[in-house]
Amino acid sequence: MSEALKIPRGGDLDFLALGGIVHRLDPGIVPFRKATECKIHVSGGEFNVAANLSDCFKMKTAIVSAMVNYPIGDLIAERVRAMGVRPIYKHFEHNGATGPNMATVYSDRGFGVRPPVVFYNRAHEAAAQLKPGDFDWKAIFSGGVRWVHCGGLFAALSASTAALAAEMMREAKAAGAVTSFDLNFREKLWKVSGGIDRAVETIGKIVENVDVLVGNEEDLQKGLGIPGPEVEAKSKLDPSLFFAMIDRVVKKLPQAKVVATTLREVHSTNRHSWSAVAWVNGKAYAAPTAELDVYDRVGGGDGFAAGFFYGLLTGEAPEEALKLGWAHGALLTTFPGDTTMATLDQVRAFAKGGSARIQR
């Protein structure tokens, strides 16, 4: 696997991500319109993977992002340090009134038949102001970086963030790193950034230098502009739609060696069937299906990506790497917040078929 992806054996960093870091306000099962208190989680589609790889999998990781010098920025920076992630920031000064800001995500947890509701305040977001030339990639990569990651959430923030992501991917490939991109297509974000056509054009310039893609069939269609397959899925757990699109993905992105995604059948907000699939160097792999009792679903996909990347980075066989991603993503849904509280032993135990029996 490492030969196919040509993962460097060593380096100053195992994993580096570029993305915006946000704080998520979480009122629990109470809808915001009736909320009286909230928990604060630090999050970001790209940051979450770096945090998970550092905290659970003990890898050397870094986040390249924007940081605002004001109390919310201080809170976020403290959580980044607590997860063991090396910060590489462009700093902004807050004007005391309107920004620049660290973005806010509002997300209740829903309950039973009532789904979670997510909305954003990304006005005057500092991360959206990041642009090519803001970071010295040659200096960042000089000590060796094994794997470099970005995603559709960051690309959707502005034209300049998408251009920065493309710049980083070019520099990463020149430096010999493996590159990955999580399509993470979010209709609400792309709606204010030019819609689906703009998304396809924007993401296309980034993924031309990407080795590993994460995304389901909807992400592949809307993010890459690839027509959907003619087959019909029997359920959300049926991987046939995903695998039916791989030939089209590879035709558009011949350098791509790995495409992976989670599969989730939602029975209620708190009860999901969970699986994962991957296409690795021409072969298809599928994880088992687990029945999950979900505490907080936010971050499960990033949990999958972290475990899957860890498996590939450490030389596991593709099917084992997929199981590690599947297991870590499943465990992450049992914790509050967007980043991991699992241990590697717990991940390996679940990947091997562990149960919820008490550990004494």
Q: Tell me, what's the pLDDT at 102?
A: 98
* SS3 assignment, position 22: strand
Sign of CA dihedral 324, 339, 99, 87: negative
| Helix, strand and coil percent figures for the chain, each rounded to 5 | 35, 25, 40
Indicate if the pLDDT at residue 229 is higher than 90.
Answer: no
Q: How far apart are the first and last CA of the chain?
A: 36
Indicate if the pLDDT at residue 286 is higher than 50.
Answer: yes
Cβ proximity of 76 and 67 under 8 Å: yes
Maximum distance among all Cα pairs of the chain, rounded to whole angstroms: 55
Indicate if the pLDDT at residue 357 is higher than 70.
Answer: no
d(CA 312, CA 306): 10
> Residue written as tokens 């963030």?
161
Q: Tell me, what's the pLDDT at 358?
A: 40
Tens of pLDDT, residues 94-153: 999 999 999 999 999 999 999 999 999 999 999 999 999 999 999 999 999 999 999 999
Sorted by sequence, the CB contacts under 8 Å of residue 26 that are 6+ apart come out as 38, 39, 40, 41, 107, 108, 109, 296, 336, 337
Question: What letter represents residue 72's amino acid?
Answer: I
Q: Tell me, what's the pLDDT at 359?
A: 40
Q: Tell me, what's the pLDDT at 360?
A: 32
Alpha helices, H only, the chain: 2-5, 45-55, 71-82, 137-141, 152-155, 159-174, 187-191, 195-207, 217-224, 240-244, 246-252, 300-313, 318-332, 344-351
What is the phi/psi pair of residue 310, to 5°? Answer: -60, -45
Tens of pLDDT, residues 43-71: 999 999 999 999 999 999 999 999 999 99
Domains in the chain (CATH in brackets) are 10-351 (3.40.1190.20)
pLDDT classification of 2: cutoffs 50, 70, 90 = very low
DSSP for 272-300, please give it. EEEEEEEEETTEEEE---EEEE-S--TTH
Indicate if the pLDDT at residue 230 is higher than 90.
Answer: no
pLDDT classification of 196: cutoffs 50, 70, 90 = confident
Q: Tell me, what's the pLDDT at 252?
A: 93
Conformation bin of residue 11: beta by default, left when phi > 0, alpha when psi is -120 to 50: left
* pLDDT (mean) for 277-294: 96
For the record, the structure tokens of 320 come out as 């084992």
Indicate if the pLDDT at residue 7 is higher than 50.
Answer: yes
Strands 104-107 and 118-121: antiparallel
What average pLDDT does the chain have? 94
- Output DSSP code: residue 145: B
Closest CA to 44 of 27, 58, 24, 28: 24
- Percent residues over pLDDT 70 in the chain: 96
pLDDT classification of 197: cutoffs 50, 70, 90 = confident
Q: Tell me, what's the pLDDT at 319?
A: 97
Tens of pLDDT, residues 234-258: 788 999 889 989 989 999 999 999 9
Q: Tell me, what's the pLDDT at 233?
A: 65
Angle at 48 between CA 73 and CA 146, to 5 degrees: 110
Indicate if the pLDDT at residue 1 is higher than 70.
Answer: no
* pLDDT (mean) for 17-33: 98
